[in-house]
Amino acid sequence: MGTIVIIIILILIYKQAKSIFHNKANLAKTIIVLLLLIFISSSSYALSEFTCIFTLINPSATNVAFGLESGTANIWDRNPLGVWSNPAKLGYYKGFAYGNSHDPWFDNVIKGIYHNSSYLTFGWNGIGILLPFVNYSNKLGTTLDYGKIATFDQHGNLVIFNFYETCSQVAFGINCIEFADNFFKFNPKINNLQKYFEISLGYSLDYIKADLGFEKGEKFSQNIGAILKVAPQHIDNENIRIDITSGINIVNIFKSDMTFKYDNGDKEKQPLPYGNRTGIAGKLSFINIKGLADEYPLLFDISKYLFSIYASYDNAKYGDNPSTWGKGIEFTLLDIFSWRFGEYNDIDGHMVGDCHGYGINLNYKDVVSFQYNYVEFPGGELQAKQEKEDISFCVDIINLIKALK
Q: pLDDT digits over 156-166, tens only?
A: 666 677 788 99
Q: What is the mean pLDDT of residues 4-17?
A: 50
Closest C-alpha to 222, from 208, 236, 205, 201 = 205
Question: CA separation (Å) from 337 to 36, 333, 390?
Answer: 52, 5, 15
pLDDT of residue 252: 95
The 10s digit of each residue's pLDDT in 334-364 is: 889 999 999 999 877 778 899 999 999 998 8
- Assign domain 46-404 to a CATH class: mainly beta
pTM comes to 0.84
- Does 397 have pLDDT greater than 70? yes
- Does 141 have pLDDT greater than 90? yes
The 10s digit of each residue's pLDDT in 36-86 is: 344 433 433 333 478 888 899 999 999 999 998 899 999 998 899 999 999
Phi, psi for 359 (deg, rounded to 5): -145, 150
pLDDT of residue 296: 64
3-state secondary structure of 252: coil
- Does 125 have pLDDT greater than 70? yes
Which residue type occupies 345?
Answer: N
pLDDT of residue 394: 92
pLDDT of residue 116: 95
- Does 329 have pLDDT greater than 50? yes
pLDDT of residue 383: 75
- Does 30 have pLDDT greater than 70? no
Distance of CA 133 to the CA centre of its chain: 15
pLDDT of residue 183: 77
Q: What is the mean pLDDT of the chain?
A: 82
pLDDT of residue 16: 47
Question: CA separation (Å) from 37 to 34, 201, 220, 234, 295?
Answer: 5, 47, 33, 64, 71
Which residues lie below 8 Å from residue 187, measured CB to CB, with a gap of 6+?
181
Q: Per-domain residue ranges for the chain? A: 1-45, 46-404
Give the E-state strand segments of 105-232 in sequence order. 114-124, 127-132, 141-152, 158-175, 197-211, 215-230
